[in-house]
């Protein structure tokens, strides 16, 4: 009996052992299948990550641009209905669209935060457009290389027009913007601006018996005015007698203005209000601006030729530059910024130079001032608007000349100076500027402020003149200057432009051949 019981127990143990082995084998198969399925999901998730990898860097760039320029901080997700952009905390610094979801089985769901992850291209086009609006031209160009969707949005974005007008103003040729996109216009003009580092030819204009005090390059008509100020409809010249001589353009005349013919009251006339020599002139669509040694700047209505505002200074007025609704002027060693509509003094830079501040230039937006003075120094200032106040920050200083700086001209990114030492300097201010758009109603400083010791010297010095250069102007591919010699020199850089265009075409052909060979 005992033997039978023991045998029964052994049979049960053997059976249990067999059952246990079968269970382990089944569990092993299950684990193997589960690991296989898990590896499939991991591979799918990795594929999605690799697909988004190209966009992650750009998204990080977008995020940094938004936070830097709009003053945004990192968002925190709300309960379960708000959609927001926040940092995912991973190594790629992706931007996620956080929408609270109860399930975490979807590979696009972050297990730790429970937020639904989507790519930047999944956003509505209008929202992407607003994000792109926060970028500068270089960043926008990087974004356009990511995908076809972002390329289309970045290339067709209206902000390219703002970039162009901010740097160079509106195109001077009518209908020019209709032939090409604003992005194409911007890229072409940016390309042309690099030619001032290349080769050039010099043309010399003779005929004057006295010093040339002012030159003006009328780019829209490819003319050079040896007077003071002009556009395609009106030409102005100031004299030591206090009069302003005016000429209206003559239709059908290749040189626009008839300066040598018999006097015609309909095309030639004079206006007078100053009590001293006229030292500087400028004009825009509605107004004429004149400065004088009588320590005033007078603003004239262009249609009636009557003085509408008188801006009084404490010393002789040496230069003025209007932009939009403001006008900047130099008087003595000080620099003034006025509201042209009301005549209110907005800000003043006291003792900008040791001695007189002879020269003045401004960017097309009017945010940046460039001054040259009797001390041979060139200063760059930024005017920052804060509510109703305007603060002035000194950005940089150069001392490239051994004599007084008599004239300055600015065409992005080149600042050109003419000095009494008979030399011209070309300064590239591109690295000092960071083009951006103010966001959320905040005016953000657009300058990368640097230590004066780290500022690069002028990129180029042009020699070969006599002493005392009094005037300079710069256009798309040429520089014009005049001085005490009584001659006008034209530095033509179109050769450098043509050479660079040929080099670019050859590089394109070479790359195409390499692609075909590959």
- What SS3 state is found at 427? strand
State how far the Cα of 78 lies from the Cα of 472, in Å rounded to an integer: 60
Structural contact between residues 352 and 343, judged by C-beta atoms closer than 8 angstroms: no
pLDDT at 396: 92
Q: Are residues 64 and 185 in the same domain?
A: no
> pLDDT band for position 417 (50/70/90)?
very high
Q: Which residues contact 435 (CB under 8 A, 6 or more apart)?
A: 136, 137, 163, 166, 167, 446
Q: Are residues 57 and 148 in the same domain?
A: yes
When mean pLDDT is compared across 97-106, 237-246, 326-335, the lowest value belongs to 97-106
pLDDT at 13: 44
Q: Are residues 293 and 186 in the same domain?
A: no
Structural contact between residues 468 and 483, judged by C-beta atoms closer than 8 angstroms: yes
Q: Are residues 111 and 182 in the same domain?
A: no
Q: Are residues 36 and 140 in the same domain?
A: yes
CATH number, position 211: 2.130.10.10
Strands of 450-514, DSSP E: 460-462, 469-474, 478-483, 488-492
Per-residue DSSP letter, 179: H
> pLDDT band for position 217 (50/70/90)?
confident
Q: Quick check: is 196 in a domain?
A: no
pTM of the entire predicted model: 0.68
State how far the Cα of 499 lies from the Cα of 419, in Å rounded to an integer: 30
> pLDDT band for position 498 (50/70/90)?
confident
Q: Are residues 406 and 510 in the same domain?
A: no
Place of tokens 């000080």: 334
Domain count, the chain: 3
Q: Which of 67, 146, 442, 139 is nearest to 160 (CA)?
A: 139
Q: Does residue 101 register a pLDDT over 50?
A: no
Token pair listed for 116 = 């639904």
Q: Does residue 79 register a pLDDT over 50?
A: no
When mean pLDDT is compared across 425-429, 441-445, 492-496, 499-503, the lowest value belongs to 441-445
pLDDT at 280: 92
Q: Are residues 22 and 66 in the same domain?
A: yes
What are 220-269's pLDDT values in tens digits?
A: 545 555 456 777 788 888 888 889 988 888 877 777 777 766 566 667 88
Average pLDDT over residues 69-80: 42
Q: Are residues 221 and 327 in the same domain?
A: yes
- What SS3 state is found at 27? helix
Segment (H or E) for 47: helix 2-70
Q: Quick check: is 299 in a domain?
A: yes
Q: Are residues 299 and 183 in the same domain?
A: no
Q: Are residues 441 and 389 in the same domain?
A: yes
Q: Are residues 253 and 385 in the same domain?
A: yes
State how far the Cα of 53 lies from the Cα of 154, in Å rounded to an integer: 19
Q: Which residues contact 161 (CB under 8 A, 6 or more apart)?
A: 177, 182
Structural contact between residues 302 and 287, judged by C-beta atoms closer than 8 angstroms: yes
Q: Quick check: is 497 in a domain?
A: no
Domain holding 440, by residue range, is 201-492
pLDDT at 32: 57
Q: Are residues 434 and 397 in the same domain?
A: yes
State how far the Cα of 453 lies from the Cα of 410, in Å rounded to an integer: 23
Average pLDDT over residues 41-48: 53
User: What length does the chain have?
Assistant: 518
């Amino acid at each position: 009996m005992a033997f039978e019981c023991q045998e029964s127990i052994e049979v049960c143990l053997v059976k249990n052992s067999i059952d246990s082995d079968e269970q382990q084998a089944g569990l092993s198969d299950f684990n193997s299948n589960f690991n296989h399925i898990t590896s499939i999901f991991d591979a799918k998730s990795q594929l999605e990550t690799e697909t988004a990898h190209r966009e992650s860097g750009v998204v990080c760039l977008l995020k940094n641009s938004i936070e830097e320029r709009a003053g945004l901080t990192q968002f925190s997700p709300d309960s379960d209905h708000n959609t927001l952009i926040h940092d995912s905390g991973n190594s790629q610094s992706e931007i996620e669209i956080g929408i609270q979801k109860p399930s975490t089985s979807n590979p696009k769901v972050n297990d730790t935060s429970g937020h639904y992850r989507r790519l930047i291209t999944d956003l509505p086009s209008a929202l992407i457009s607003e994000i792109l609006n926060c970028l500068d031209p270089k960043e926008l160009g990087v974004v356009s290389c990511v995908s076809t969707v972002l390329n289309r949005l970045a290339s067709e974005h209206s902000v390219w027009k703002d970039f162009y007008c901010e740097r160079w103003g509106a195109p001077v040729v009518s209908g020019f913007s209709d032939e090409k996109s604003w992005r194409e216009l911007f890229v072409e003009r940016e390309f042309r601006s690099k030619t001032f580092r290349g080769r050039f030819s010099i043309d010399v204009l003779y005929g004057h018996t006295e010093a040339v005090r002012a030159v003006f390059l009328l780019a829209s008509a490819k003319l050079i005015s040896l007077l003071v100020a002009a556009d395609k409809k009106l030409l102005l010249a100031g004299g030591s007698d206090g009069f302003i001589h005016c000429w209206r353009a003559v239709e059908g005349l290749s040189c626009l203005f008839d300066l040598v013919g018999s006097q015609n009251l309909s095309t030639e006339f004079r206006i007078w209000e100053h009590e001293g020599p006229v030292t500087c002139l400028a004009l825009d669509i509605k107004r004429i601006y004149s400065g004088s040694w009588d320590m005033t700047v007078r603003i004239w209505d262009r249609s009636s030729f009557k003085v509408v505002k008188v801006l009084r200074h404490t010393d002789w007025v040496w230069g003025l530059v209007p932009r939009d609704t403001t006008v900047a002027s130099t008087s003595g060693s000080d620099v003034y910024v006025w509201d042209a509509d009301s005549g209110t003094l907005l800000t003043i830079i006291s003792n900008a130079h040791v001695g007189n501040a002879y020269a003045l230039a401004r960017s097309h937006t009017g945010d940046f001032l460039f001054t040259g003075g009797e001390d041979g120094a060139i200063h760059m200032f930024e005017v920052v608007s804060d509510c109703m106040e305007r603060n002035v920050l000194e950005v940089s200083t150069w001392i490239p000349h051994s004599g007084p700086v008599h004239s300055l001209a600015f065409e992005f990114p080149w600042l050109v100076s003419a000095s009494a030492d008979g030399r011209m300097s070309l300064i590239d201010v591109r690295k000092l500027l960071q083009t951006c758009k103010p966001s959320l109603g905040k005016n953000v400083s657009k300058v990368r402020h640097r230590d004066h010791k780290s500022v690069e010297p002028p990129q180029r010095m042009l020699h070969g003149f006599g002493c005392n250069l009094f005037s300079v102007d710069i256009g798309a591919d040429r520089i014009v200057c005049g001085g005490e010699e009584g001659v006008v020199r034209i530095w033509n850089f179109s050769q450098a432009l043509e050479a660079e265009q040929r080099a670019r075409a050859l590089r394109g052909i070479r790359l195409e051949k390499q692609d075909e060979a590959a």
